[in-house]
Amino acid sequence: MAFVNSILLLNQLNQVVVIASGYNTCDYIYDSSSDASQLGPENGKMPSLYSNLLQKLEDFMIKDEKLGKEQSQRAIKSSLLSGSMSMALCYIQRVFRSGPFHPQPRILCLQGSPDGPEQYVAVMNAIFSAQRSMVPIDSCYVGAHNSAFLQQASYITGGVYVKPQHLDGLFQYLTTVFATDLHSRSFIQLPRPAGVDFRASCFCHKTTIDMGYICSVCLSIFCNHHKKCSTCGSVFGQAQSDTSSASDLKRKAPET
């Protein structure tokens, strides 16, 4: 909340939208353009901005937990990163078309849960959409291991990927790295990841693979050779099935 407030204080034209991403749903929990009129003291303790945001976040968690009980449990507990990215891109496109201003939007993904291989296609489509719209995706991953999805998102869109070594200094990472506007980034030395995990997920078992088969028609990825593509129905022959490494999979990532 301190980071959100610092972004708004940097420039009076700045706008912040917070999207919560759970295991089963995504939702907007704060929009500075619509909640600006609600700023003020509440019971003499906490500004209503913070209390409203916390209340919406708590309601969202209760809703997400309730949906989780109604739906079948997935093998890997991963947040709906693809859904929240898509909602952010839709909001940005609406801002682009709503007025004469030409903002410089960017997306910051703050994630702690592991990647969900079953979301590979949807996440990659969102990443390519952001790239075409020239919207950088910054990533701050606070989980145990690096996120291949967020590494690829930041690399492809020209954003910044950071995995904080000390969570006690999270606010310092947020303000010194992610609060920097796009113009200032051209003359500031920002942290760069040591490497990017370009591995893809197969369409048949939704698992991360190093080597796989790619349909030459729709670019679907499979871990084993199939006689027929389950996505487009193309029949594979000796000359129609390509075997590619992880780096090739990145370049041939599907766009559906």
206 vs 204: CA distance, rounded Å: 6
Residues 19-73 have pLDDT tens digits of 999 988 999 999 888 765 555 555 444 466 677 888 899 999 999 888 877 666 5
Dihedral sign (CA 126, 79, 120, 180): positive
247 vs 211: CA distance, rounded Å: 9
Mean of the pLDDT values across residues 9-20? 90
Residues 209-239 have pLDDT tens digits of 888 888 877 778 888 888 888 778 788 765 4
Q: Report the residue count for the chain.
A: 256
What pLDDT sits at residue 246? Answer: 47
212-215 and 221-222: which strand pairing? antiparallel
**pTM, rounded to two decimals:** 0.77
Mean of the pLDDT values across residues 117-133? 89
What string of DSSP letters covers 172-223? HHIIIIITS-TTGGGGS-----S-----EE-TTT--EESSEEEETTT--EES
Residues 148-177 have pLDDT tens digits of 889 999 999 999 999 988 888 899 989 988
Q: What is the average pLDDT score of the chain?
A: 81
What pLDDT sits at residue 44? Answer: 41
C-beta separation of 37 from 9 below 8 A? no
What pLDDT sits at residue 40? Answer: 52
What pLDDT sits at residue 64? Answer: 87
Phi and psi, residue 146, nearest 5° = -70, 155
Choose between 24 and 248: higher pLDDT. 24
In the block, which residue shows the tokens 């910051």? 108
Mean of the pLDDT values across residues 242-246? 51
208-209 and 241-244: which strand pairing? unpaired
What pLDDT sits at residue 240? Answer: 45
What pLDDT sits at residue 117? Answer: 79
104 vs 221: CA distance, rounded Å: 34
What pLDDT sits at residue 157? Answer: 94
**Alpha carbon separation from 105 to 32, 43, 48 (Å, rounded):** 14, 35, 26
Residues 88-102 have pLDDT tens digits of 999 999 988 887 777
Q: Is 9 exposed, middle or buried (0-12, 13-18, 19+ CB in 10 A)?
A: exposed
Q: How confident is the model at residue 252 (pLDDT cuts 50, 70, 90)?
A: very low
Q: Which of 105-109, 197-201, 224-228 has the highest mean pLDDT?
A: 105-109
212-215 and 208-209: which strand pairing? unpaired
What is the distance, to the nearest Å, from the Cα of residue 16 to the centroid of all Cα atoms in its chain? Answer: 16
